[in-house]
């Protein structure tokens, strides 16, 4: 059996008196495309932060790409995160006044690679998301859907095996949202494991697997 890209065992997260995630067990295998779905306050964001190694569990164990996160120092965890996980958020977080190619190239800013290498990689990534003709444009010159595709290009620039998309269509009109979801499916077809966090049941239902949360508990979809 291959090593899962994400594995949680008995993971809970408490913030003061609030139990935001309760005894979660979850395995995500390489190459999966799944939705984490639930209403506001169900624990989706907490699960995202845990799986993305942006926060540590209060109890339980988390393995990312075979590594026990609890055994890693903060520096080691940062290296693992940078190498393994790409993030796409509802808000695009694109620097104003910076061309798309340089926004994407900044995804490799701390890789030690020279600027020319980063920009060539960014150019390839923008072509991959269908924006080769817009790489010199500034964020305000791009549509919402195009801005999200720039953010996706930045997230996948280093070839991470895991892409986590948090409400990636939440700020988009329906047509742009469909374009972004089609792109995420294409990335998955090419081998990237894609986790979509969403409250949209239609988006969740369109994906091969749905992990449902309610009141901090995973209530379905623990295993594929």
Q: Give the contacts of 9 (CB within 8 A, at least 6 positions apart).
A: 25, 60, 61, 62
**pLDDT single digits (tens) 93-152:** 999 999 999 999 998 887 778 889 999 999 999 999 999 999 999 999 999 999 999 999
Residue 223 has pLDDT above 80, yes or no: no
Architecture label for domain 6-220: 3-Layer(aba) Sandwich (3.40)
Buried (b) or exposed (e) across 69-103, using 16+ Cβ within 10 A? beebeeeebeebbeebbbbbbbebebeeeebbbeb
The answer to whether the predicted template modeling score (pTM) of the entire model surpasses 0.75 is yes
Tokens of 136: 């010199």
Element (H, E) at 186: helix 174-189
Q: How far is residue 224's CA from residue 19's CA, in Å, rounded to a whole number?
A: 26
Model pLDDT, residue 4: 95
**Mean of pLDDT over the chain:** 93
**pLDDT single digits (tens) 36-65:** 999 988 999 999 999 999 999 999 999 999
């Amino acid at each position: 059996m291959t090593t899962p890209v994400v594995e949680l065992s008995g993971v809970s997260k408490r913030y003061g008196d609030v139990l935001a995630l309760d005894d979660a067990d979850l395995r995500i295998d390489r190459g999966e495309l799944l939705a984490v779905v639930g209403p506001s306050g169900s624990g989706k964001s907490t699960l995202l932060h845990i799986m993305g190694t942006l926060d540590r569990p209060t109890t339980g164990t988390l393995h990312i790409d075979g590594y026990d996160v609890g055994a890693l120092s903060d520096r080691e965890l940062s290296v693992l995160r940078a190498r393994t996980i790409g993030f796409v958020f509802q808000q695009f977080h694109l620097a104003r006044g910076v061309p798309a190619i340089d926004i994407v190239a900044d995804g490799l800013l701390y890789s030690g690679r020279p600027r020319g290498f980063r920009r060539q990689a960014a150019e390839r990534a923008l072509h991959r998301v269908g924006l080769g003709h817009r790489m010199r444009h500034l964020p305000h010159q791009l549509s919402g859907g195009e801005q999200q595709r720039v953010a996706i290009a930045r997230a996948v620039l280093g070839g991470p095996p895991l892409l986590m998309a948090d409400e990636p269509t939440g700020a988009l009109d329906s047509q742009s949202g469909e374009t972004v979801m089609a792109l995420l499916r294409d990335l998955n077809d090419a081998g990237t494991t894609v986790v979509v966090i969403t409250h949209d049941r239609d988006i969740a239902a369109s994906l091969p697997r749905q992990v449902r949360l309610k009141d901090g508990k995973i209530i379905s979809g623990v295993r594929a």
